[in-house]
Amino acid sequence: MNLRRDVFQAIADPTRRAILLLVASQSMTAGAIAANFDTARPTVSKHLQILTECELLKQEQQGREVYYHLNPKSIKEIADFIEPFRNLWDNRFNKLESVMKKYKPKK
């Protein structure tokens, strides 16, 4: 439960969300990530630290460089959090659609 809260805190920030989108396609070094933002480098480092601490990002050592990549498990956790609620409405709306399709001829 604590982790979940942290994860949501982490994605509350627009820059951090942008970072997640960036590394979604490929793993990147801190420098390469920072190059995409006007924000000062230490600020980006701080964001990376937060994202890593709550396990949204994983660090991987490749030679002398540290690469950041998405942790699919945590991302899935965010998706799972909303999914039952989405599913509930999706089922209701599917039903609405089929109920109203049957209703159609009476129009």
Partner 1 sequence: MERKTKIQAEPNKQELVITREFDLPVELLFKAHAEPQLVEQWMSTKVLKLEGRKHGSWQYETSDPNGNVMLRMNGTFHEFIPNQKIIRTFEMENIPFDVQLEFFEFETLTEDTSKLTMHLIYRSQTLRDQMLQMPFAQGLNMAHNRLEEVVHKLK
Contact 69, 27 (CB under 8 A): yes
Among 62, 63, 103, 105, binds partner 1 (CB under 8 A): 103
Contact 37, 44 (CB under 8 A): yes
Binding piece for partner 1, criterion CB under 8 A, among 20-28, 38-46, 63-71, 96-104: 96-104
Among 3, 9, 59, 73, binds partner 1 (CB under 8 A): 9
CA dist., res. 78 & res. 80, Å (int) = 5
CA dist., res. 28 & res. 66, Å (int) = 8
Helix (H, G, I), strand (E, B) or coil at 62: strand
3 lines the binding site for partner 1 (CB under 8 A): no
Among 61, 62, 104, 105, binds partner 1 (CB under 8 A): 104
2 lines the binding site for partner 1 (CB under 8 A): no
Binding piece for partner 1, criterion CB under 8 A, among 22-30, 41-49, 50-58, 94-102: 94-102
Between 72-103 and 2-10, two packed helices, what is the crossing angle to 10 degrees? 80
Q: Which residues bind partner 1 (CB under 8 A)?
A: 8-9, 11-12, 81-82, 84-93, 95-97, 99-101, 103-104, 107
